[in-house]
Chains A and B, each alone.
Chain A
Amino acid sequence: MDTLEKLAVLADAAKYDVSCASSGVNKKNKGGIGNSKAYGICHTWSQDGRCISLLKILLTNYCIYNCSYCVNRNQNDIQRAHLTPKEVADLTIQFYRRNYIEGLFLSSAVEHNPNHTMENILHTLQILRNNYHFYGYIHVKVIPGTDPALIHKIGLLADRMSVNIEQPSEQSLRLLAPQKRLQAILTPMQQINTEILINSEERRKYRRVRKFVPAGQSTQMIIGASKDSDFTILKATETLYKQFALKRVYFSAYIPINDGPNLPALTTAPPLLREHRLYQADWLLRFYKFQAEEILSPKYPNLDIEFDPKISWALRNIHLFPLEINKASYEELLRIPGVGLISAHRILSQRRIAPVSYEHLGKMGVVLKRAKYFLTCQGRYYGEIPSEPSLIRQRLAPAPQATQLTLF
């Protein structure tokens, strides 16, 4: 098989990994090639609208595991390929020079055992960092069951590491990936988190300590392959943020590729809107200071598909509204549907100098279509209808799909 074919096979095998972020770390080029920006840079967007920032590729898709949801499980009759560490490193440099990519996202299926695979990954990173003096971004997927000493070595060369949690609950994991154990997934996550903490402490004291996973760790879980509720997913997400200080938890709408007794039918469409709503809820957790239990509860276990989670929350808590835009605190402003981080900031900044009028809000980037039912401006309410959940719901509901009328 030539490089062109191998690249095609191994890109196909890697594409269901969600993360492609190149953010979280500022690095200068110290006499080699490459640097890295904390805000991250996207280089292009594929036909599914997802950003391509890193060369996302598997070292191999030969796998001893048989996880039922995975395209690379060993019972599948698909094309298999290997790339050597040198081949991956050369490809990365050649793509990087041409500014196709921001760096490498290296993962792999498990051909013999986790340590064997991770040693190959380590070797790739050593070529890139030590031989080619590459200062671009590297994200490495950690395979559960890898020796901690090996993880430590890789962590000193990579910018970000991630261990896939795969499923939001232990039962689902047992059902869909019987060879994997939750404990085995959480162990490396814990190790990476501890080492990052120790490393940042050491770096505060001594100048010449090498950075360990400076861009932090992330994880991903599959949505819709199991029967877990959104509440379970969001609680798991919150726990991951709190316990392991993750930078991101990615969700990936399950795309039926395999047939199996515990899986949704092959004809099921991927739950893209559900995934979108979960990401919105994830944003509320990370940037808007929400708790998972405010967004969902055992009583409301699933996110509303028609409305975004902030509106759903506001409608359930209508007694808190409307808020006066010229008096509300930053935290309160963030709770108003249609007000984002930047517009809240602009409101505060102008308020110090002059009162904010309703006309100003639109210019500041507030989405008035949603916000007007939840705020007053200099004492006046602009919602036109009473601030009543059922009425607001009616106004904000998505327009019904237009259908062609039949003649007869």
Chain B
Amino acid sequence: MDYLYDGSFEGVLTAIYYNYYEEKAEGIYHKDRYQFSLATNSKFLKSDPQLAAKVYTAVEQKISNEALRQIYYVYLSNHPNKENLILRYLELAFKLGAKINSYYTHPAVLPVLKTAKQVSFEAHRFFGLLRFAEARNCLYAALEPDNNIIILLADHFADRLAKENFIIHDKRRNIAVVYNRKEWFLADLPKDVKIDFTDDEAFYQQLWQSYFQHIGIDSRKNTKLQTQFVPHRYRKNLVEFNY
């Protein structure tokens, strides 16, 4: 049986529950990306918070917090087959328990750890590469990350910029983290949203661009190294690369 879910993390966990308590899952797929075939049966599962919570605590208690974090990060990734990576990993992990990650090279483990690492690495990168601009009533930052990471950025910036209102806008997925000096939440935000920036903003951007030019040492020039750290696909939203 192929289980189809609605794209939420709860949905994936619900499917995992069905895999154990209903019919075994051949695979788990996003309902909008599933290719129907005559050979396999498929069934759409509505996300069930209670069933999802059961799986969630089971992972936490019978495997480890670490494993829970790994599968959540995989869920946030853009891996085309991520649901099934999670399924295969959990099937093995429920048998082996907390020592699962010691089987580093196992074909059900390695892709999960690698994908989770990519996601956490990209999130870490954007702790640095995110750029806010001062709008009339908040700070606004746009980014186009490979993975769905803005939720991983939220706590970090909510602590750091506790007394600011801010929006972190994932323009690729049309979603945003919105913080109002008390708490943050996720919201839908269209790609072409109009932002009204303050008059000072251009001045500070110019200062930063000039600083960026002057801090580099000409006789050590190494743009290949620079590209390794700041890939071209990220540069569109970086002030210092657009002047």
Contact = CB atoms under 8 A, between A and B. Distances in A.
Decide whether A and B are members of one complex. yes
A33 B229 contact: no
Interface in B198-217: 204, 206-208, 210-217
Contacts of B224: 49
B50 interface: no
Chain B CB within 10 Å, residue with most, of A15, A37, A49, A255: A49
A98 B204 contact: yes
Interface stretch (B11-19, B70-78, B155-163, B169-177): B155-163
Contacts of A42: 128, 229
A51 B225 CA distance: 10
A112 interface: no
Nearest to A16: B217
Interface string A350-371: 1011100001100110000000
B41 interface: no
Contact of B238 (A11, A44, A49, A50): A44
B216 A35 contact: no
Contacts of A4: 206-207, 210
B141 interface: yes
Contacts of B215: 11, 14-15, 46, 52, 56
Contacts of A97: 132, 134, 139, 161, 164
Q: Please report whether the interface of chain B is mostly helix, strand, loop or mixed according to DSSP.
A: helix
Contact of B128 (A34, A41, A349, A353): A41
B239 A100 contact: yes
Contacts of A272: 220
Interface string A35-48: 10100011111111
B220 A48 contact: yes
The size bracket of the interface on B is 35 or more
B159 A46 contact: no
A385 to B, nearest CB: 27
Contacts, number: 149
B117 to A, nearest CB: 11
B159 A28 contact: yes
Interface residues of A, number: 55
B133 interface: yes
B223 interface: yes
A45 B131 contact: no
A269 B217 CA distance: 13
A398 interface: no
Given A32-B163, A95-B208, A44 B128 contact: yes
A12 B218 CA distance: 11
A400 interface: no
Chain A CB within 10 Å, residue with most, of B132, B157, B160: B160
A358 to B, nearest CB: 11
A97 B204 CA distance: 11
Contacts of A47: 216, 221-223, 226
5 contacts: A33-B160, A46-B215, A255-B219, A255-B220, A353-B99
Interface of B: 99, 101-105, 110, 124, 127-134, 139, 141, 157, 159-164, 204, 206-208, 210-226, 228-230, 238-240
Given A47-B221, A51-B229, 6 more contacts: A14-B215, A29-B159, A98-B139, A100-B131, A349-B102, A350-B105
